[in-house]
């Protein structure tokens, strides 16, 4: 399932939740919320829609929305009230172009439309509404897509662990028109380097719904350092070129498996390129991916 399909599913589920909210039979509403949570993981939330009272598993601590991190978070905003069109959102937030629109269909056949925006645009939208007469009493329906961002450039090596690459600068662009930077955005299978809870075979088996215990390979990456987030979660951040981080490597076989890990890591992390040195392979350096922390509050 690609991102567009997931957004359409989420839009439909959110619309069904809105339709069922005022139903005297709360089972319909609870079912819509449960289906949404099952698709987008318990740490996702719906702003403007009451949450299900079902107990939820513990989630990682939240951190303040700083500008750099806000640009890496994604939201669906429902087109309603003073936000009836994507052009109105563009006008209120100062975007150069209208945000992309996605349609959701509820169980009764009624449709609703949503726009995809990032955290910076969301903050601008809320601020603009609070300063307008029509928007002061309006609470927009916002749905956070809480998964690690993956945006691998096709014209440069960005993003890469330990390297500050600006793909707009000539020195970082591809040396030839047909040059391919690996891994590509849609490459599968693809090797991942794990250093935290995902390096535990039991956790990885559970998250990927594997029938057998996965076999990981000892590995190291360079250009990063480990810090702690929330006092207990390992956070890989950029370090010196000579810095070495020990961990484990595992080959992810499909986009579906990769998405499960992206939801597990949440949008506090982002997928970046790295070179993985396999400890048990002679000359075993491969181009792979890892999760780099992009939030705030690391120790």
CATH classification at residue 255: 3.10.490.10
In a domain, 298, yes or no: no
In a domain, 57, yes or no: no
CA count, 13 A, side-chain hemisphere, 163: 16
Same-domain pairing of 187 and 271: yes
Same-domain pairing of 181 and 129: no
The closest of 31, 9, 28, 1 to 105, measured between CA atoms, is: 9
Give dist(CA 108, CA 103) in Å, integer: 15
**Per-residue confidence (pLDDT) for residue 72, from 0 to 100:** 78
151: which 2 tokens? Answer: 């945006």
Residue after which a domain boundary falls, among 110, 145, 180: 145
Same-domain pairing of 178 and 277: yes
Give dist(CA 194, CA 242) in Å, integer: 19
**Per-residue confidence (pLDDT) for residue 104, from 0 to 100:** 83
Same-domain pairing of 185 and 276: yes
Q: In terms of residue numbers, what domain contains 283? A: 170-293
* Residue 291 and residue 269 in contact, taking contact as beta carbons nearer than 8 Å: yes
**Per-residue confidence (pLDDT) for residue 52, from 0 to 100:** 35
Q: Could you give the number of structural domains in the chain?
A: 2
**Per-residue confidence (pLDDT) for residue 70, from 0 to 100:** 74
Same-domain pairing of 133 and 96: yes
In a domain, 140, yes or no: yes
**Per-residue confidence (pLDDT) for residue 213, from 0 to 100:** 97
Q: Which residue ranges in the chain fall short of pLDDT 70?
A: 1-69, 167-168, 283
Same-domain pairing of 78 and 126: yes
Beta-sheet strands, E only, within 119-207: 142-145, 149-150, 190-194
Specify the 3-state DSSP secondary structure of 69: helix
| 39 burial type by CB count under 10 A (0-12 exposed, 13-18 middle, 19+ buried) | middle
In a domain, 44, yes or no: no
**Per-residue confidence (pLDDT) for residue 133, from 0 to 100:** 86
Same-domain pairing of 186 and 249: yes
Same-domain pairing of 123 and 225: no
pLDDT digits (tens, 9 = 90+) for 172-193: 777 777 899 999 999 999 999 9
Same-domain pairing of 88 and 132: yes
Please state the pTM of the whole predicted model: 0.70
In a domain, 35, yes or no: no
List the beta bridge partners of residue 225: 237
Same-domain pairing of 185 and 258: yes
In a domain, 223, yes or no: yes
**Per-residue confidence (pLDDT) for residue 11, from 0 to 100:** 57
Same-domain pairing of 205 and 270: yes
* Residue 76 and residue 8 in contact, taking contact as beta carbons nearer than 8 Å: no
In a domain, 122, yes or no: yes
Give dist(CA 187, CA 271) in Å, integer: 13
In a domain, 55, yes or no: no
Same-domain pairing of 197 and 276: yes
């Amino acid at each position: 399932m690609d991102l567009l399909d997931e957004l359409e599913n989420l839009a439909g589920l959110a619309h069904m939740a809105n339709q069922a909210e005022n139903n005297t039979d709360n089972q319909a509403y609870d079912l819509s919320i449960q289906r949404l949570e099952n698709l987008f993981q318990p740490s996702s939330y719906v702003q403007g829609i009451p949450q299900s009272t079902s107990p939820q598993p513990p989630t990682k601590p939240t951190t303040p929305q700083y500008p750099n991190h806000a640009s890496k978070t994604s939201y669906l905003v429902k087109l309603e009230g003073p936000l009836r069109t994507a052009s109105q959102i563009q006008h209120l937030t100062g975007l150069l172009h209208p945000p992309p629109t996605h349609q959701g269909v509820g169980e009764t056949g009624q449709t609703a439309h949503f726009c995809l925006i990032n955290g910076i645009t969301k903050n601008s939208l809320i601020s603009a509404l609070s300063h307008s007469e029509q928007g002061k009493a309006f609470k927009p329906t916002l749905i956070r897509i809480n998964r690690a961002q993956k945006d691998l450039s096709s014209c440069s090596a960005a993003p890469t662990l330990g390297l500050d690459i600006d793909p707009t600068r000539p020195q970082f662009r591809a040396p030839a028109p047909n040059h391919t930077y690996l891994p590509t955005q849609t490459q599968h299978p693809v090797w991942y380097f794990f250093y935290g809870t995902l390096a535990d075979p039991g956790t990885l088996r559970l998250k990927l719904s594997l029938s057998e215990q996965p076999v990981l390979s000892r590995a190291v990456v360079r250009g990063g350092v480990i810090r702690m987030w929330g006092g207990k979660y390992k956070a890989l951040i950029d370090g010196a070129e000579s810095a070495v981080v020990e961990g484990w490597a595992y080959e992810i076989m499909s986009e579906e498996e990769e998405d499960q890990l992206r939801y597990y890591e949440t949008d506090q992390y982002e997928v970046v390129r790295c070179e993985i040195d396999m400890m048990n392979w002679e000359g075993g350096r491969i181009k792979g991916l890892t999760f780099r922390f992009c939030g705030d509050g690391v120790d």
